[in-house]
Amino acid sequence: MPYLQPFDPWKSPLCTCPPKYTLNPYTGCGHRCIYCYATSFIKNFYSPRPKKDFLKRIKKELTKLPQGALVSLSNSSDPYQPLEKNFQLTKKFLRLIQELNLNLRVLIITKSSLVERDISLLKNLRCAVSITITTFKYWKILEPGSSPAEERVEALKKLKTAGIPTILRLDPIIPEINETEVEEIIKKTADFVDHLITSTYKAKRDSLNRLVKAFPEKAKYLSFLYSKKGEKLSGSYYLPKELRKRIISRVYEIAKMYGLSFATCREGLKEFAFKERCDGSFLIDRFF
C-alpha cells in the first residue's frame, strides 16, 4: 500500500475536509493520548516505529502527485512525536519537497513543540501548521508523551512570527474534563493563530475505557453520555446532539470574540458550517 493515501476518514459523510493526501512517517504514536481513536485500528499503537524505507518509497510516490496537491502530516500519528528527534523522517520529507522543487501544499498537525526545529524549512514551503491544544491542567493524564501545552503556545508564537500560517486545533473537548479550559486555551493562543478548528470527543470502545479509568469520578457520567444517551455515527460514539451543540456554540462565541475564523470537525452541525476549508488549509493559498 502506498504511504501517501487519499484522506478518507472511513468515508464519513460528516467529514468536510477538502481533497488531500495523508502521510504518516511513523506507525503508531509516542504521545500516547488516552482519547486517541487510532489505537482502535492500528496494532501496538503506543509502540511507535518508523515506516520502512520511508524516504526511498516516498520519493517515488511524490512524483505521482498532481500539481498543487495538499499533503496532510499526519492524521493517524504525530509527525513530531518523540521518534522524530532521532529519525527525522518528517524533516527529511520537508527537505525532499524543497529539493525536488515540487509544487505541493503541506498541512502539519502536531502536539509537539519540536516543530520549531523546522521553522526555517517550513518558511520556504507552501504550508500551514495546526497545533492541537486541549488542556493545560490535565496534559500529563490526557497526552502524557506530548509537549506541555505552554510549550505549544510558544511554538505557535514562533511560527506566527516567522510568517507561517497557524491554526489552533481545540480537539477533542471532553465534557466536564477539559471543557472548562476552552476559554483559557483560546485566550492564550488567539494572538498567534489565524483559524480555529474544534471538535467534541468521539469515543471508541478502547479510548472510552482508558478515559473512565483515568477519571474514575467521571466514569458513570461519561459512560452514560456516550453509551446510553449519545448516538453512534460513522463507527464512533458521539455525545447527544444537544450537548454537542451547546459545547460547540460556546467555543464559537469565544472564537468570535477573539476574531478567529471557526470550523468544526465531523460534527455535522449545519449551524456551524464554515464556507472555507475546515482544516485551515485555505490559509496556505491566502498566504502564498
Binding site for ligand SF4 (CB under 6 A): 29, 31-33, 36, 38, 77-78, 111, 143
- Looking at the Cβ atoms of 78 and 267, the one nearer to ligand SF4 is 78
Element (H, E) at 237: strand 236-238
By the 8 A CB rule, do 107 and 20 touch?
yes
To ligand SF4, the closest distance from the beta carbon of 41 in angstroms equals 12
Nearer to ligand SF4, 38 or 125 (CB): 38
Nearer of residues 78 and 116 to ligand SF4, judged by Cβ: 78
Residue 102 beta carbon to ligand SF4: minimum distance, rounded to whole angstroms: 26
The neighbour count for residue 199, using CB atoms within 10 Å, is: 20
Q: Write down the least CB distance from residue 75 to ligand SF4, Å.
A: 8
Residues 6+ apart with CB under 8 A from 188: 153
Q: Indicate if the alpha-carbon torsion angle 279, 282, 287, 288 is positive or negative.
A: positive
Yes or no: say if 153 and 45 are a contact pair by the CB < 8 Å rule.
no
For ligand SF4, the closer of residues 110 and 189 by Cβ is 110
Q: How far is the CB of 127 from ligand SF4 (least distance, A)?
A: 19
| Residue with Cβ nearer ligand SF4 (20 or 126) | 20
CB of 19 to ligand SF4, least distance (A): 22
Which C-beta is closer to ligand SF4: that of 31 or that of 188? 31
Taking the alpha carbons at both ends of the chain, their separation in whole angstroms is 32
Q: What is the DSSP string of 50-89?
A: EPTTHHHHHHHHHTTSPTT-EEEE-SSS-TTSTHHHHH-H
Q: Considering beta carbons, is residue 48 or 165 the nearer one to ligand SF4?
A: 48
Q: Which residue has the cell 477539559?
A: 178
> In terms of DSSP H, where are the helices of the chain?
54-62, 83-87, 89-99, 119-122, 139-142, 149-161, 182-189, 205-214, 219-223, 241-257, 282-287
The least CB distance from residue 223 to ligand SF4, in Å, is 21
Query: What is the nearest approach in angstroms of ligand SF4 to the Cβ of residue 196?
Result: 18
